[in-house]
Structure 1
């Protein structure tokens, strides 16, 4: 059994003989050790000292002063407290939380992004169709590793799948033409031009960077968490032009009328 020095403090009531008596106790080196000291502030007498661990063949831990009780081993190793991520110190256990990965956050699901295409879910062959997605930072609380935790999701990237096999990756969700001050069918960082007519189902996936807070500050999560919005249908048509000498109002049976 490992013996730990104990700091002893005794307060004696103010008596005329208290200080000499305390000094006498300090003279008993075998009891208090060489660091014993006695003094008085006028209202009490304080005796402080360090009790020395018993040496071979003697000590104060057994009733007869002949050493530690039978069966005790001063050289015994500390008890194994378990896995490497658990530390034991004099009866206390401290759990150390390891690295948190995206797979640990299966019970925390960020909201799906908003997703639209313009103009109004239609497109023209060879002309840009504009796609706009929206996502924002989110926080939620819950339990992870049986501990209360706050989880934060921050949009890091947007991956657009246009439904014809093409895709694009962007750090933003795109911007509407009116906000950009551009006319319809203008090219944007998130637009796409279809090569043939047909109906296409597009989608967007937002990749979130995650962080967790167990009450001692934010810690990054290894990996990404993805939320997907799909089912955006785009009907793509062909646009044909012809030169005519009269408008449809003037010639209702003319080409394209």
Structure 2
């Protein structure tokens, strides 16, 4: 029985999964930003060892690297706030709150288990293949609030107007 390796099947691997942040590139110090990467099962037919083969990649876990020295492993790629029915800046399983203002580059990696089928059933390929899901640049800003007596419409020369 043939036993392919990850190196053997790497050419059949899925493309990089989309990676997005909410709220789209700008966050507030201390408030959660939400990160989502969408990866699914990927099958591709071809030839391996001069034999016809179908290779299947199934996402098993995700690593979110937030760009500030922290990261998180997750069993899922996350979901948008809208999909979760939550308001913006709500904490999620894949969100992160930055402690300081600045520019950060967040990335994600999808870990895939691979299987090969030479026509006699699926064979597990040992190991996990890690594929970067992309990167996004974030601006994290400080927000200052002030209590005022009147709105800017009522007092256009007031603080912050």
TM norm structure 1: 0.60
**CA-based RMSD:** 1.2
Structure ID, larger Rg: 1
1:194 CA drift (Å): 0.5
1:182 aligned onto 2:86: yes
1:165 is matched with 69
Say which is worse superposed, 205-214 or 222-231, in terms of deviation: 222-231
Question: Is 2:107 aligned against 1:195?
Answer: no
Residue 135 of structure 2 corresponds to 231
- Is the partner of 2:43 in helix, strand or coil? strand
Where do residues 24-173 of structure 1 align in structure 2 (5 Å cutoff)? 96-97=1-2, 99-173=3-77
TM-score (norm 2): 0.95
Unaligned runs of 5+ in 2: none
- Where structure 1 has 5 or more consecutive residues not aligned to the other structure, the ranges are 1-95
Distance 2:100 2:121 in 1: 52
Q: Which has the higher contact order (CA 8 A, sep 6+)?
A: 2
> Which of the two has greater strand per residue?
2
What displacement does 1:155 show?
0.7
The runs of 4+ residues in structure 1 deviating greater than 2 Å are none
Q: What is the number of residues matched between the two proteins?
A: 161
- Partners of 2:135 and 2:80 lie apart in 1 by 19
Alignment partners' CA distance in 2, 1:231 and 1:160: 10
Query: Does the aligned pair in 1 maintain the 2:17–2:134 contact within 8 Å?
Result: no
Give the Å deviation of 1:249. 1.3
1:208 alignment partner, one of 91, 112, 121: 112
